[in-house]
Amino acid sequence: MAADGIVMAHAPGRVNLIGDHTDYTGGLVFPMAIDLGTTVRGVPGGDRVRLQSALTGDACNVPLRIDDPARVEPSWARYVAGVVAEIEPRRGFDGAITTTLPVGGGLSSSAAIEVAVALALGFDGDAVDLARSCQRAEQRAAGVPCGIMDQLTVTAGIDGHALLIDCTTLAITPVRVPDEAVVLVLDSGEPRRLAASAYAERRAQCEAAAAIVGPLRDATLADLHTIDDKELRRRARHVVSENQRVRDFAAALETGDLDAAGEAMTASHISLRDDFAVSTPSLDHLVAALDETPGVYGARLTGAGFGGCVVALATPGAVPWTTPVRPSGGARVVIDSQ
């Protein structure tokens, strides 16, 4: 039985199967929550949020009134501070934080911290409200104008399913991941350098393209000819074609056409590499090696790019040295004995 006053909240990480750099243009994404995640456990109370990290050995100690989360140390505590600044909890928390996620490895370890902390601090609201608060927390903590995909996947994950998310309406359509396929995540080992500034630049380019052709979500490839700047046109072409690939991928998964699903993933990688320019030689190398591996349907970089991870869809056992990630349920309060 849980001791009185203990609260424990768990938030999964996520991997995006297809649909990258589309969320902040109101487009389509297709991620899933995974069976690795972050847990916060402790006792609410006091006027500070104190969490001891089992992973790094240090602690965060954040006051309840905080103006600039981006300056807090240690750096992982910025995500805690961002949440505190956003949700302004009435009381603090004293406890510990543990994780099974690789930190900074492109599986949304920061979104998992934010959501687990918000729930432990008693956030009251639905999955979309929670995701929006944590998205703002991330923007304040990391200074990156991120979209809502990571936080919404973490809050709304459904066991056994990936989520087709419409980032204009935030409608979520769960799609079962067939038992005949496994999802693999492979780390390129390359740190995501320049990610923050390059991400902001890509987002600004999408906004500049939308100022010419209207919302990229509604644009067709033919519309893009009115964009004179070649680089801007390529960025927009990625977004418009990626939205279609998300639809194709979701339909292929639903009908069990794993070859077609894999083809959409590989085409997505090429578009992210050539049109959106967010790949790296290590990511390209990993994707090429996976594409040549028997039993792998398709592979692509996942998340923001500039390093980080590759995701692949494969038959079970095709890549024996990697453990598949399982589509999992979303964040939850596991114990609340108050």
- Residues of this chain that bind ligand GLA (CB under 6 A): 20-21, 23-24, 146-147, 149-150, 303-304
**Residue 28 C-beta: closest distance to ligand GLA, Å:** 11
DSSP codes joined into one string, 272-284:
HHHTS----HHHH
**Residue 235 C-beta: closest distance to ligand GLA, Å:** 13
Helix (H, G, I), strand (E, B) or coil at 295: coil
- Whose Cβ is closer to ligand GLA: residue 7's or residue 156's? 156
Residues 6 or more apart from 32 whose CB is under 8 A from it? 14, 15, 17, 153, 157, 161, 162, 163, 177, 183, 327, 328
- Whose Cβ is closer to ligand GLA: residue 99's or residue 151's? 151
**67 counts as catalytic:** no
**Residue 310 C-beta: closest distance to ligand GLA, Å:** 14
- Whose Cβ is closer to ligand GLA: residue 118's or residue 304's? 304
Among residues 20, 150, 248, 275, the one annotated as catalytic is 150
Task: Report how far apart, in Å, the C-alpha atoms of 93 and of each of 34, 130, 186 are.
Answer: 26, 18, 35
**Residue 167 C-beta: closest distance to ligand GLA, Å:** 9
- Whose Cβ is closer to ligand GLA: residue 15's or residue 224's? 15
Q: Taking a C-beta distance cutoff of 8 angstroms, is the pair 192, 104 a contact?
A: yes
Tell the residue number behind the tokens 């992973």, with chain if given: 55
Residues designated catalytic:
150
